[in-house]
């Protein structure tokens, strides 16, 4: 039990921060908001050279097989710099394939991903945005040596930038237990795919993607047919906890700008940071960010040990959604009018954090998941001990 | 980052839990409940015995296993164990309502600032429970602004003569000693003229007058947050103490006291105080209904319960972070204060949320027909907010987070000296 960063972990943070401080000015962040691809390939290649993409992927494909906690620390720095790179969607998809794909699939895909040549994304959500298996209506049907996919996916990250997209499809009946779902790796250039960019608060790159008789070779099935829900849950959990890390990095930087501003801005003859109302708001902001970090890293730490971490992931996301939003909103308020102006940089963090609180599960969804674990499984709960686990599925 | 317990620490927890299952029997708990003040004996011969025969026996056995003062050095009566191990032992015993730790005892301050003689004299007896300190900080005119205290010690040769009054001195009537913060120099800025003395409560010139709390009438059940029926005011009239009763150097008392307070806040006691009701309400709701109505199926209650549970995890993790900082040498910047904002406010939030889950049943006190869990939730309502007041209010703690942690400037205010 030691919750402080180790020297190695501090080094990962420091080097990522130093790199992004030098390579990712806010002018680049602004530029990419209107760029059709949404990311600068030169910066992305340097990130890949630093080993960020392959950080937690197996060594046999060129990765470093480090714990996921390190990836969390890097994404926290990516969030701090609000760096416009497709790291999150790529690593989450790659980790899923490394875990559930065949050796041939990994060999064919992962080396290029690790080198930064292949960008990945995934698609689960449809019209009903909840992360439940029964929301998937997109169908994949066998046709000779192919599957044929028809349906519409929503809020797909970096689709224009990605070469491959991991798509959750219905291959069996619609069930609440998740049976009948399968995952397919689909080339984004396949015939029959069209996508429409969405205009978001973050000005990031999300799309509606329509699959119209899209043929996918059978060997692109990832994992077993009809058993894709368990893999999907793992993908969602990893993606959720990593977006928490990214959100916390951005929220901390955003808060630090408010603390500095409060020391400089004067009103009534003294810095506004000398007023207790501002001080107590700032104290709450740092407490909330710290709390979110502790929850997030406990979830990642458990995942690294192969322990069940779904409850911990939901704890982190439910908390970060509310508290990070409150942090960046308070930061806007401390800045007064200037934070509302386009020319001032603060909104780059504010808009992204806000947007991330709306992705990968709302506060209510995640609390419902925690409540199920607390209340619907027999046995007494003890804080700090693992919750009772249902014995029969 | 390591969020897990080592195999040795897990084994220790199992041993302690097994011991509790065997030795903390219904009879022992009944004896504990029968005594007005719970916890280890504070029998100085001059005050009331707080430990019945069964509990005395229990403490002997706990001591034989080396679990009292586990994290304190062997030469001072401890076991030389690590801080986490001490935490585990305290946590397990606190869950059954038996405080065996040294939280709020003054022991951390003695470790940090005491002379070798003081350490050898006080620590073993604090650990065994033979000694206990009443904490004499607050005064009628000095609460949140503690450094404005007026209780005065004047040097007289090798002695000091103490005059003044302390308030809310909770255990003064059952403590062997008082850990007293007084003014030794009124002519310097207020923080620079304070000293700490430790001396026996039976020193001539001390008068203890009871103050009864609103929380324990009828008697609060075991495990209530706070739950003490009695606090005290203490008067010091020409109390003459030897200079060797000074802890740390003269006029250095503010520094010594703050350091001790910071360390005293860290541990199982403060943490469990804030989160016990989270466990209680989840477990109660899982097993009970009101007629046909199951609160566990109520969507609003489910959402609130999850929200509280998540915040309770943050309490736990902040405690673990503080423990980690102590293990690394104890250099807090703001983390201890942050924990002391978050956890008490969470405890209050849970307490109040529970009242809205149980509705009119949440008003029923101990002994009332239909009281839930001996009325613990009702008694809690009357005292949970104490966590946000004592040992530094949450407002003072936020000041510290902002000024020490974030380097925000101090507000303009009149610098005064206290006379």
pTM of the model: 0.94
Query: In Å, how far is B33's CA from the nearest CA of chain A?
Result: 23
Is A283 in contact with B313 (Cβ distance < 8 A)? Answer: no
Interface TM-score (ipTM) > 0.90: yes
Minimal Cβ distance to A375: which of B302, B338, B405: B302
CB A73 within 8 A of CB A121: no
Is A375 in contact with B409 (Cβ distance < 8 A)? Answer: no
What is the CB neighbour count within 10 angstroms for residue A99? Answer: 16
Q: Is B127 on the interface with A (CB under 8 A)?
A: no
Is A263 in contact with B407 (Cβ distance < 8 A)? Answer: yes
Which residue in A241, A294, A383 has the most chain B C-beta atoms within 10 A of its own C-beta, making it the best mutation to test that interface?
Answer: A383
> In the beta sheet, which residues pair with residue A370?
none
Q: Is B327 on the interface with A (CB under 8 A)?
A: yes
What is the CB neighbour count within 10 angstroms for residue A146? Answer: 15
Is A375 in contact with B316 (Cβ distance < 8 A)? Answer: no
Residue A176 has pLDDT above 70, yes or no: yes
CB A226 within 8 A of CB A332: no
- C-alpha closest to that of A280 among B338, B369, B366, B193: B338
Q: With H, G, I as helix, E, B as strand and everything else as coil, classify residue B208.
A: strand
Exposed, middle or buried: residue B152 (CB in 10 Å: 0-12, 13-18, 19+)?
A: middle
Minimal Cβ distance to B296: which of A1, A9, A375: A375
Domains of chain B and CATH, by start: 7-101 (1.10.540.10), 133-250 (2.40.110.10), 266-405 (1.20.140.10)
Domains of chain A, residue spans = 7-118, 122-227, 230-375
Query: In Å, how far is A301's CA from the nearest CA of chain B?
Result: 7
Is B303 in contact with A368 (Cβ distance < 8 A)? Answer: yes
Query: Which CATH number is correct for A7-118, 1.10.10.10, 1.10.540.10, 1.10.4160.10, 3.40.50.300?
Result: 1.10.540.10
pLDDT at residue B35, as a whole number: 60
pLDDT tens sequence across B292-313: 999 999 999 999 999 999 999 9
Residue A222 gets the label, from left (phi > 0), alpha (psi -120 to 50) or beta, of beta
Give the C-alpha separation, B170 to B230, whole Å.
7
pLDDT at residue A188, as a whole number: 98
Nearest CA in chain B to A378: B286
- C-alpha closest to that of A314 among A358, A354, A364, A268: A364
CB A138 within 8 A of CB A168: yes
Using omega within 30 degrees of 0 as the cis cutoff, is the peptide bond preceding B98 cis?
A: no
Query: In Å, how far is A148's CA from the nearest CA of chain B?
Result: 40
Buried b (16+ CB within 10 A) or exposed e, B12-40: bbeebeebbeeebeeebbebbeeeebbbb
CB A200 within 8 A of CB A352: no
Q: Provide Rg for chain B, Cα atoms.
A: 22
Give the C-alpha separation, A177 to A285, whole Å.
39
- C-alpha closest to that of A327 among A300, A305, A346: A346
Cα B47 to the chain's mean position, in Å? 21
Mean pLDDT of A275-298: 98
Size of interface A-B (CB pairs under 8 A): 177
Give A13 or A178, the one with higher predicted confidence: A13
Domain A122-227 superfamily per CATH = Butyryl-CoA Dehydrogenase, subunit A, domain 2 (2.40.110.10)
pLDDT at residue B304, as a whole number: 98
Cα B102 to the chain's mean position, in Å? 8
Is A283 in contact with B341 (Cβ distance < 8 A)? Answer: yes
Give the C-alpha separation, B108 to B123, whole Å.
9
pLDDT at residue A391, as a whole number: 59
Sort out which chain B residues have CB atoms less than 8 A from A315's CB and list them: 309-310, 313
Cα→Cα distances B222→A280, B60, B90, Å:
35, 22, 16
Q: State what percent of residues in chain B have pLDDT above 70.
A: 94
A167: part of which helix (H) or strand (E)?
strand A164-170
pLDDT band at B413 (very low <50, low <70, confident <90, very high): low
What is the CB neighbour count within 10 angstroms for residue B170? Answer: 19
B82: CB partners within 8 A, 6+ apart = B71, B327
Residue A392 has pLDDT above 70, yes or no: no
Residue A109 has pLDDT above 50, yes or no: yes
Q: State what percent of residues in chain A have pLDDT above 90.
A: 95
Sort out which chain B residues have CB atoms less than 8 A from A287's CB and list them: 338, 341-342, 401
Mean pLDDT of B205-218: 93
Query: Which CATH number is correct for A230-375, 3.40.718.10, 1.20.140.10, 1.20.1090.10, 3.30.70.580?
Result: 1.20.140.10
Is B314 in contact with A291 (Cβ distance < 8 A)? Answer: yes
pLDDT band at B411 (very low <50, low <70, confident <90, very high): confident
pLDDT tens sequence across B368-378: 999 999 999 99
Q: State what percent of residues in chain A have pLDDT above 70.
A: 99
pLDDT tens sequence across B35-90: 654 333 333 333 344 578 898 899 889 988 889 889 899 999 999 988 889 999 99
Question: What DSSP string describes B345-380?
Answer: HHHHHHHHHHHHHHGGGGGPPTTSTT-GGGGHHHHH
pLDDT at residue B45, as a whole number: 35
pLDDT at residue B184, as a whole number: 98
Cα B34 to the chain's mean position, in Å? 22
Is A284 in contact with B398 (Cβ distance < 8 A)? Answer: yes
Mean pLDDT of A149-154: 98
């Amino acid at each position: 039990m030691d919750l402080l960063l180790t020297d190695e972990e501090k080094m990962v943070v420091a080097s990522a921060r130093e790199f992004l401080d030098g390579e990712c000015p806010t002018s680049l962040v602004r530029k990419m908001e209107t760029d059709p691809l949404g990311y600068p390939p030169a910066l992305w290649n340097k990130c890949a050279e630093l080993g960020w993409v392959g950080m937690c992927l197996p060594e046999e494909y060129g990765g470093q097989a480090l714990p996921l906690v390190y990836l969390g620390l890097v994404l926290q720095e990516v969030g701090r710099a609000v760096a416009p790179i497709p790291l999150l969607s790529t690593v989450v998809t790659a980790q899923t394939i490394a875990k559930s794909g065949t050796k041939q699939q990994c060999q064919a895909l992962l080396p290029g991903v690790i080198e930064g040549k292949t960008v990945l994304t995934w698609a689960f959500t449809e019209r009903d945005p909840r992360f439940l298996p029964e929301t998937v209506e997109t169908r994949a049907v066998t046709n000779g040596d192919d599957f044929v996919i028809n349906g519409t996916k929503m809020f797909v990250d970096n689709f224009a930038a990605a070469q491959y997209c991991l798509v959750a499809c219905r291959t069996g009946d619609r069930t609440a237990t998740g049976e009948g779902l399968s995952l397919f790796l689909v080339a984004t250039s396949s015939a029959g795919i069209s996508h429409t960019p969405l205009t978001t608060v973050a000005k990031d790159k999300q799309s509606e993607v329509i699959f119209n008789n899209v043929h996918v070779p059978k060997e692109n099935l990832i994992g077993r047919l009809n058993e894709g829900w368990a893999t999907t849950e793992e993908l969602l959990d990893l993606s959720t906890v990593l977006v928490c890390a990214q959100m916390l990095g951005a929220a901390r930087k955003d808060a630090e700008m408010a603390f500095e501003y409060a020391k400089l801005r004067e009103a009534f003859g003294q810095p506004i940071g000398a007023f207790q109302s501002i001080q107590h708001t700032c104290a709450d902001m740092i407490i909330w960010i710290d709390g979110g970090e502790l929850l997030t890293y406990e979830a990642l730490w458990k995942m690294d040990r192969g322990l069940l971490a779904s409850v911990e992931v939901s704890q982190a996301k439910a908390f970060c959604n509310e508290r990070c939003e409150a942090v960046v909103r308070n930061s806007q308020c401390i800045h007064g009018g200037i934070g509302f102006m386009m020319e001032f940089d603060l909104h780059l963090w504010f808009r992204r954090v806000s947007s991330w609180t709306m992705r990968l599960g709302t506060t209510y969804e995640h609390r419902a998941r925690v409540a199920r674990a607390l209340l619907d499984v027999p046995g007494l709960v003890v804080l700090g001990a693992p919750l009772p686990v249902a014995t029969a599925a | 980052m390591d969020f897990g317990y080592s195999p040795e620490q897990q084994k220790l927890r199992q041993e302690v839990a097994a011991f509790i299952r065997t030795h903390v029997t219904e009879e022992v708990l009944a004896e504990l409940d029968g005594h007005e003040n719970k916890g280890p004996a504070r029998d100085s011969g001059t005050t009331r015995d707080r430990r019945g025969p069964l509990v005395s026996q229990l403490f002997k056995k706990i001591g034989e296993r080396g679990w009292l003062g586990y994290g304190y050095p062997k030469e001072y009566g401890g076991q030389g164990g690590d801080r986490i191990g001490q935490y585990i032992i305290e946590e397990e015993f606190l869950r059954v309502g038996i405080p065996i730790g040294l939280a709020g005892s003054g022991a951390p301050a003695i470790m940090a600032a005491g002379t070798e003689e003081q350490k050898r004299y006080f620590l073993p007896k604090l650990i065994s429970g033979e000694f206990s300190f009443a904490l004499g900080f607050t005064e009628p005119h000095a609460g949140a602004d503690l450094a404005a205290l007026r209780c005065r010690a004047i040097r007289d040769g090798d002695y000091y003569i103490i005059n003044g009054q302390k308030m809310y001195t909770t255990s003064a009537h059952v403590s062997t000693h008082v850990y007293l913060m007084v003014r030794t120099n009124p002519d310097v800025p207020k923080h620079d003229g304070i000293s700490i003395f430790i001396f026996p409560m039976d020193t001539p010139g001390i008068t203890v007058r009871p103050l009864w709390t609103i929380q324990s009438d009828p008697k609060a059940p075991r495990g209530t947050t706070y739950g003490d029926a009695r606090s005290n005011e203490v008067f010091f009239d020409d109390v003459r103490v030897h200079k060797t009763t000074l802890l740390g150097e003269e006029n250095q008392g503010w520094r010594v006291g703050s350091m001790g307070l910071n360390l005293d806040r860290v541990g199982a006691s403060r943490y469990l105080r804030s989160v016990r009701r989270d466990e209680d309400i989840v477990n109660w709701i899982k097993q009970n209904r009101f007629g046909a109505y199951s609160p566990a199926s109520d969507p609003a209650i489910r959402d609130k319960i999850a929200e509280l549970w998540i915040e309770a995890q943050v309490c736990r993790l902040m405690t673990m972070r503080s423990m980690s900082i102590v293990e690394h040498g104890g250099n807090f910047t703001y983390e201890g204060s942050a924990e002391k904002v978050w956890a008490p406010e969470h405890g209050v939030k849970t307490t109040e949320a529970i009242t809205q889950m149980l509705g009119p049943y949440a008003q029923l006190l101990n002994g009332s027909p239909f009281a839930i869990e001996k009325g613990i939730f009702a008694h809690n309502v009357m005292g949970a907010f104490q966590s946000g007041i004592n040992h530094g209010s949450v407002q003072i703690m936020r000041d510290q987070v902002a000024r020490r942690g974030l380097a925000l400037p101090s507000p303009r205010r009149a610098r005064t000296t206290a006379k």
